[in-house]
Amino acid sequence: MTPSAPARADAPLPGTPFVAYRAGQLMLEDVALAELAQRHGTPLFVYSRAAMLGALAAYQRGLAGREALICYAMKANSTLAVLKVFADAGCGFDIVSGGELERVLAAGGVAGKIVFSGIGKTRAEIRRALEAGIRCFNVESLAELDVIDEVARACGRRAPISIRVNPNVDARTHPYISTGLKGNKFGIAHEQALAAYQHAARLTGLQVVGIDCHIGSQITEVAPYVEALDRVLDLVGAIEAAGIRIRHIDLGGGLGIDYAGDTPPAADALWAALLARLDARGYGDRALMIEPGRSLVGNAGLCLTEVLYLKPGEQKNFCIVDAAMNDLPRPALYEAFHRIVPLRQPAPGASATTYDVVGPVCESGDWLGRDRPLAVQPGEHLAVLSAGAYCMSMASNYNTRPRAAEVLVDGGEARVVRQREAVQDLWRGETA
């Protein structure tokens, strides 16, 4: 799919309400992106604080009047400055490693608002999370229940736990980011969940506090969420009939964003539908937890990159840029689409050439966009949009490439929140 023609001046680009051309310059909030590229170099990630808070506000509206905790799923983007935006807004955090726990605490997050998900928690991670006083472990196997019980008893504590149930619901998303089917590695099968709760209730080092469900990522429909909720509520009824109280219901995250004309429901509209179903089934009084990630940060960030060379070919024309798959791994991993636009708006009628936009990494999979009409020259800059989620957090040093710098924009102000790595940083700790 190819992007539409550049938006008219002063109009936000699709899916990115805080990115717009003004007087021919691409702006993020009130900051000219070309100036950032010149000042800080490229590749460069730039994030909008207003976009993050605007996305969060949709969830807050949808959950207004309910006992609910929004836990940002920080695997989407774990940069300290991003975490601080959400910590300052009162959010909790969904973590999947001990390292993520330490990042939340370093950013000023509250341990009592942290839920610890993930299928492979180590004893050391469990112990540290208990010592920090996290809110809940989302448990994904019977074996994990036993290990958390063992560690908690050794620490003289009771670990608050919620069991992640795999409801066998098809989220109709990319298979690599689908998590709620029987063939996925996550969670305990719906049919085995009651027995798992009964087992947990017998373990003296555990305190059952909730139930958890997460069916995937980049979901663009309401129906899979409603289906999953119904299956979870069926279980809540059976579990409580067995004498085990469920204090909170955690419905995970996974709401999609507009990458290429995608039309996910707005967060407040999604939650209106889910809350109506909760109320209709008699569970509207329960505390709620949710774990949005991509939908809070995905369209708040972009990556700036310089055009290095234009390489014509018999079958393909290539626009070679200085950003690569180590900076923006989603296209290589998922064949994902990101809109790519120039920082200076082309003149009306400017002649465009169709290019594959590719990076310098020595892999054929190193592409950022295919078949994109662009009117650009070497030395000019492009913006890869919708790059706030699963880009910097998944970036690597492949080909001994330093990771990019990051900038946070707030109105007309821009500050560096991560310095660009130096090449020498990459072998610190190694010996020859």
Give catalytic residues, as residue numbers: 362
117, 170, 185, 202, 320 from 141: Cα distances, Å: 11, 21, 10, 16, 46
144 among annotated binding-site residues: no
To the question of whether residue 363 is assigned a binding role by annotation, the answer is yes
CA distance 323 to 359: 6
Between CA 183 and CA 185 the distance in angstroms is 7
How many residues in the chain? 432
Contact yes or no for 161/145 (Cβ under 8 A): yes
Return the structure tokens found at 366.
């190193």
The position carrying tokens 């889910």 is 274
224 preceded by a cis bond (ω within 30 of 0) = no
Q: Which among 62, 90, 55 is positioned nearest to 76, based on CA atoms?
A: 55
Eight-state DSSP code of residue 255 = B
Q: Would you say 317 and 96 are in contact if contact means Cβ atoms under 8 Å apart? A: no
Among 334, 325, 342, 346, residue whose Cα is nearest residue 404 = 325
In terms of DSSP bridges, do strands 367-374 and 381-384 run parallel, antiparallel, or are they unpaired? unpaired
CA-to-CA distance for 353 and 90, rounded, in angstroms? Answer: 47
191 among annotated binding-site residues: no
Report helix, strand or coil for 16: strand
Q: What are phi and psi of 11, to 5 degrees?
A: -100, 130
Q: Is 330 annotated as a binding residue?
A: yes
CA 202 to CA 414: how far, in whole Å? 54
The answer to the question of whether 293 is labelled as a binding residue is: yes
**Cα distance between residue 119 and residue 135, in whole Å:** 18
Q: Which residues are bridge partners to 302 per DSSP?
A: 46
Task: Report the binding-site residues.
Answer: 254, 291-294, 330, 334, 363, 390
Task: Report the binding-site residues for substrate.
Answer: 294, 330, 334, 363, 390
Task: Report the binding-site residues for pyridoxal 5'-phosphate.
Answer: 254, 291-294, 390
